[in-house]
A and B are shown apart, each in its own frame.
Chain A
């Protein structure tokens, strides 16, 4: 097991809405709605470092650089910027009146420290709110797509790039100006929610939660969690993690080294576990877990790159628990498939990675995907892999097989 409980602390009579890791320090920033306030905690000792009041009905918090956290509200048109070492707060106007069709679960706002910009979801059709930490300006953006979806979840994919999920099954990749770089419409795929037993006509596929690592996306769409290859927009796996709770049924942390922490939002038993999932190596197997001590709903789950994870419940008083997380040793590998006869043109291909470390009788598939060359995926280190590449279909398909150590 790689998930180990460290400490817990009561946070008082607060209703925590969201949390995020600070940058370059082992600390946690959270917002709560009772007071309402922003609080900074040391992740190791759980001691308060700073706090401040904040705007009413806060629902999301993100870091836009190492010094400042940006807070979004579900009721006022302003946004807050909080200096995390002192708790100094500054309010900026120009936003939207409500953030989202949901009110809990996080991923309402995502910051990009490389550009000092945060983008947040609003209740308007395709509407994002942008906080520019360079000019301290708040503005509204319209995602330039012809749908009328409401943006429901947002995460940072890479510097200058965000992934946005909508209430109707769209996933956009956008830049800080709202330009659509890439998109995937789940409604138009062979996703079985739309083509299986469903005979009721129009259906909703709310993209509630997202996680990303090296071309792979995990997306909670209410009835299921999907594993998607972003390079080819291929749904690789559909797992119905049904829950008795209201949406979103699962809460994802941000990904770190290809892993996320996951909990059910509403937990029925007092020991219901927190899970550690590996997105890229045999996804949906439990890499680590820990039974907990709460039956209350969960307000926030997150982790930082230093290997500290936590979750905060919605009990009264609220409580935070921290864990150390030891991700699998991994590296990234670029897979290139080119046509020898067409001057090195990059090709789409099927890539299957088989772990052959333990020899005959024990081989197992760790990744099976549809890729667009060149594509980068995370692979475990210290393993022996068989790489199977298929280009084309049917009798015209060509294959390549290599075996190597990572």
Chain B
């Protein structure tokens, strides 16, 4: 269990719900239904509000992301406008020219690429997106989206492109010039009646896309080949969105805004092995109330906190968790047989968090003789199995094995 409650933040004085959140270092920002944008300082020893600013009434904020290192942007479903906030001074720049309302009241309605100073917003107008810079906005009408709506958008930060989930079951990778680079259609068969699949939430890490749909399935997809790696069941009979948080080193939080019969569950999953048929479960925790959760996130710069915000204005609006670092580290290994004689071997590292039942293969590869450093996730438990002998390209026959438990 690596999700530990650090503390709760109430949206006083009106206790409105939180509709979007993002973080940069110790700065944690939220936009609420009041409407208001607030900034908090989150450290291991304190959580305190450091800035607050009212937003024009009636705008219906829907999401909040970082679009530049010091700039956050708020999107709205009630007003054709976006507001840019300097996260240090809270100075505001409103942009309305060429801006439409976002598609819906849901997470991932706007995405930012801080390295480019750009954001991309969904639109309630079919076939359209809005590209936002630090000074202006422009309409994008990619042909691939013609007549359809973007249901969610996330940035692909390693390529400075955008991943878009549509209301007809497709995931599109697009650059900022509206050129579609890859399009993958999620399977819609078998069926009794042809389904219309909505892609509700996305995450990306290391050539794998996680996509949750309104049919209750979370797909892991090899990107850009589009091959389905796995289909996991994440909700049943669901009328509301399953949300996947931003991925940090392959770790995500997953929950949804449906009101469950008893307690709200939040899973911490990792999907950094593209060959694993099921995402590993790093942790799972439950709220003590029948409320939904649609705003989730992980601070990306090793500040070791994450957040989950409820859809209730009576239950705790913002819960901050201390998390185990999702960062990657190198851990060396060396195989000798007999002692003193380095040999080639096959290494299978099983990540072994959250007790028995959750072991997942994180690494499966051959290594040459000598000391080799292999990537691990920091501060996690592993079982390392090595198979050696007449190894040809790592394949059997194996004549020996060794095994160890370790912490990265």
Chain A interface (Cβ < 8 Å from any Cβ of B): 1, 3-5, 8, 190, 192-193, 196-200, 203-206, 221-224, 227, 234-250, 262-273, 275, 277, 282, 284-286, 289-293, 321, 350, 352, 354, 359-365, 368-370, 386, 388, 397, 399, 401, 403
Contacting residues, chain A, for B401 (C-beta < 8 A): 401
How far apart are B54's CB and chain A's nearest CB, in angstroms? Answer: 31
- A222 near B350 (CB under 8 angstroms)? no
Indicate whether B109 reaches chain A with its CB closer than 8 angstroms.
no
Asked if B119 lies at the interface with its beta carbon under 8 angstroms from chain A, I say no
Known: A198-B287, A264-B238. 10 other contacts (CB 8 A): A199-B288, A224-B284, A244-B237, A262-B233, A263-B236, A268-B237, A282-B277, A289-B217, A291-B190, A364-B277
What would 24 A/B residue contacts be, using CB atoms closer than 8 Å? A5-B192, A192-B286, A196-B1, A197-B285, A197-B287, A203-B262, A223-B286, A236-B357, A238-B284, A241-B234, A243-B237, A243-B258, A243-B260, A263-B237, A264-B238, A268-B237, A269-B214, A282-B278, A291-B189, A291-B190, A362-B364, A368-B359, A369-B357, A401-B403
Q: Chain B: interface secondary structure?
A: loop
Contact A360 B393 (CB under 8 A): yes
Q: How far is the CA of A269 from the CA of B356 in the complex (A)?
A: 36
Task: Evaluate contact between B260 and A240: CB separation under 8 angstroms.
Answer: yes
Knowing A264-B236, A291-B190 are in contact, say whether A222-B260 is a contact too (CB < 8 A). yes
B78 at interface, CB cutoff 8 A:
no
Contact present for B356 and A286 (CB under 8 Å): no
CA distance A284 to B288 in the complex (A): 24
CB contact list, B182-205 vs A, under 8 A:
188-196
The residues of B that contact A269 with a CB separation of less than 8 Å are 195, 214-215, 239
Cα–Cα, bound, A290→B231 (Å): 13
Which segment, of B14-22, B263-271, B328-336, faces chain A?
B263-271
CB <8 Å contact, B261 and A246: yes
How near does chain A come to B229, taking the closest CB pair, in angstroms?
10
- Among B189, B357, B358, the one with the most A-chain Cβ atoms within 10 Å of its Cβ is B357
Residues of A within 8 A of B189 (CB): 1, 291
Chain A contacts of B193 at CB under 8 A?
Answer: 270-271, 291-293
In the complex, the answer to whether A249 meets B356 with C-beta atoms within 8 Å is no
The answer on a CB contact under 8 Å between A277 and B357 is no
Considering only CB atoms, which chain A residue lies closest to B366 in the complex? A360
Of all A-B residue pairs in the complex, the 5 with the closest CB atoms, nearest first, are A264-B237, A240-B265, A236-B357, A268-B239, A264-B236
Which residue of B is nearest A236, CB measured?
B357
User: B191: nearest residue on chain A (CB-CB)?
Assistant: A291
Q: Is the CB of A268 within 8 A of B238?
A: yes
Is B141 in contact with chain A by the CB < 8 A criterion?
A: no
Residue A286 contacts which of B217, B284, B357 (CB distance < 8 angstroms)? B217
Please indicate the chain B residues that have their CB under 8 angstroms from the CB of A284 in the complex.
232-233, 278
A5 touches B190 (CB 8 A): yes
Compute how far the CA of A15 lies from the CA of B227 in the bound complex, rounded to whole angstroms. Answer: 42
Please report the C-alpha to C-alpha distance between residue A370 and residue B356 in the assembled complex, in whole angstroms. Answer: 7
B348 at the interface (CB under 8 A from A): yes
Q: Which B residues between 213 and 233 are near A, CB-CB below 8 angstroms?
A: 214-217, 230-233
B360 at the interface (CB under 8 A from A): yes
Contact (Cβ within 8 A) B238 A239: no
Q: Does B256 contact A (CB under 8 A)?
A: yes
Residues of B within 8 A of A403 (CB): 387, 396, 398
Q: Which residues of A contact B266 (CB under 8 A)?
A: 240
Residue of A with least CB distance to B260: A242
Contact of B216 (CB < 8 Å), options: A235, A245, A264, A369? A264
Distance A238 CA – B393 CA, assembled complex (angstroms): 37
